[in-house]
Amino acid sequence: MSFALAAVLLPLLAAVLALCWRSEAARLVWLSTLFSLLLALAALWQVVTFGPVSMQLGGWQTGLAIRWHLNELSALLLLMTALIHSLVASYSFSQWRDAGLSADFWPLSALLQAALSSLFLSVDLFNWYVTLELLGLAAVALVLLSGKKALQAAMRYLLLSLAGSLCYLLGVALLYGHYGWLDVPQLAVAISEEPVDHRLALWLITAGLMLKAALWPLHVWLPAAHAAAPAPVSALLSALVVKGPLFMLYMIWGQLAGPELAVTGSWLFLLTGSMALVVGGWSALRTPYAKVMVAYSTVAQLGYGLLALGLMLHLTDPAFTQALFLFVLAHALAKTSTFLAVGEMQLRLGGKRLSTYRGASQTMPLAMFAVAVAGGSLIGLPPSGGFVAKWHLLLPLWQHSQLWWLLPVILAGTLLSAAYIFRLVVLAFNRAKPVSPDFAPVLLPQWLALLPALLVWMLAFASGSLLSWLGG
């Protein structure tokens, strides 16, 4: 657990130092993300080599102590968090003065990394609540870095996040009041020994987490917040922040719901996931604004995660667990690249509407290439990470004829993804006017935006190891 613990404490230390030494805040946090990535790699190596490990923080006994558990899944998510933060920090460090990023970005992003890393390591309902609140507060503050124009979006995000926290906390209180446990494995044992009706608690927890993750139909805060935030913040929100509550839904429904309740919950996730694919994709196709399109794409793409979660509960097939977290990894990399590239083009071309990107294949070819490559994974083109995840969702689904109706839904989601991605690509190749000879956008940020898009296509070549870590 030593490497994982260091991967959490290092961003916290960097946040404190960045507040005290603001002139060097960017350099401090950027370096901390790189070292955190090395520590997360070491933690993954450690758990693969020696097996899972648990730690009782403070040395207290189970029930009083905060328990952290490091296994293959949590180590992989810890690595994903460190990787995305290092990519976003490198992009921001390369041009943060040009983009007008406030110095407050650096301690807030470090705090967000520490909170999310703690969430992935925790197996305690109340500690999840604490990390969720830290995550939400840091995210709202990051949205506000855009100034007054982001105030309304940030306030909506804050109020709905607090409503989600209240629902979650009420559900936790009901479970704790009856069973006296907050530790999830111990609570699962208590529920199996005394299976009383705890549906209300699970529905309250689910509603709160779906609101925080912006899962359809509780996604109303996400498009405005992503569109108003600076591009690096939008990348963090879409790639990482919404994944924390999704991970908690997987843990809670996988361990605390009995067989009958799991089937009921599976239909909720299957229906909402199907609607997310269609409604989110259609909304992305109709909007005239580039960042809003990418934000609605997040709503749609999270539908695949909901489908995988619902199928996992309905059919108890481990292949759907693999599909769920392959989607999480592929989506995180693709959305990081898309938001950074679109944000870079918006900064250099000076417009928010899709029409601004007309001719972008000539003016900013690297950034446009990043959007196209990341978009290929969002569509599910082979051999991208998005294709591998979708393949592991569809392959076992063919064997269950009673859920045949999901196949046209997934096809519709794929076609809508292709439509809104190609809408932007076609505009980029429509050269409206000659490029000004003195237009010379900085290349380094564009290369850094392209890097996660390339990584998501390389994800397919590492799918064998990923599947073994995810229980394959």
* pTM, 2 dp: 0.90
DSSP-derived letter for residue 364 is S
Distance, in Å, from the CA atom of 11 to the CA atom of 272, rounded to the nearest integer, reads: 35
Distance, in Å, from the CA atom of 66 to the CA atom of 252, rounded to the nearest integer, reads: 17
**CA-based Rg of the chain, rounded to a whole angstrom?**
21
**∠ CA 68-72-73, rounded to 5°:** 75
> Using one digit for the tens of pLDDT, what is the confidence trace for 372-390?
888 888 888 888 888 888 8
Distance, in Å, from the CA atom of 327 to the CA atom of 388, rounded to the nearest integer, reads: 9
Structure tokens belonging to residue 4: 């994982």
**∠ CA 104-107-112, rounded to 5°:** 115
Nearest Cα to 306, choosing from 252, 262, 270, 259? 270
CA dihedral sign, ordered 379, 109, 4, 56: negative
CB 172 within 8 A of CB 129: yes
Structure tokens belonging to residue 197: 């009706």
Q: CA dist 90 to 84, 169, 313, 451, Å?
A: 10, 36, 39, 11
Cis preceding linkage at 217, omega within 30: yes
Number of Cα atoms under 13 Å in the Cβ half of residue 267: 6
> So what's the pLDDT on residue 472?
45
DSSP 295-334: HHHHHHHHHHHHHHHHHHHHH--HHHHHHHHHHHHHHHHH
CB 184 within 8 A of CB 125: yes
CB 378 within 8 A of CB 457: no
Centre a 10 Å sphere on the Cβ of residue 405 and count the other Cβ atoms it contains: 9
Centre a 10 Å sphere on the Cβ of residue 250 and count the other Cβ atoms it contains: 20
**DSSP E strands: which ranges in 332-446?**
none
Distance, in Å, from the CA atom of 429 to the CA atom of 427, rounded to the nearest integer, reads: 5
> So what's the pLDDT on residue 98?
59
> So what's the pLDDT on residue 79?
92
Residues of the chain with pLDDT under 70: 58-59, 62-64, 96-100, 195-197, 401, 431-440, 471-472
Nearest Cα to 213, choosing from 130, 157, 141? 157
Distance, in Å, from the CA atom of 165 to the CA atom of 171, rounded to the nearest integer, reads: 10
DSSP-derived letter for residue 216 is T
Distance, in Å, from the CA atom of 133 to the CA atom of 143, rounded to the nearest integer, reads: 15
Distance, in Å, from the CA atom of 389 to the CA atom of 202, rounded to the nearest integer, reads: 28
Report the percentage of the chain scoring pLDDT > 70.
94
Q: 57 by DSSP, 3-state: which?
A: strand
Nearest Cα to 132, choosing from 102, 149, 112, 151? 112
> So what's the pLDDT on residue 440?
62
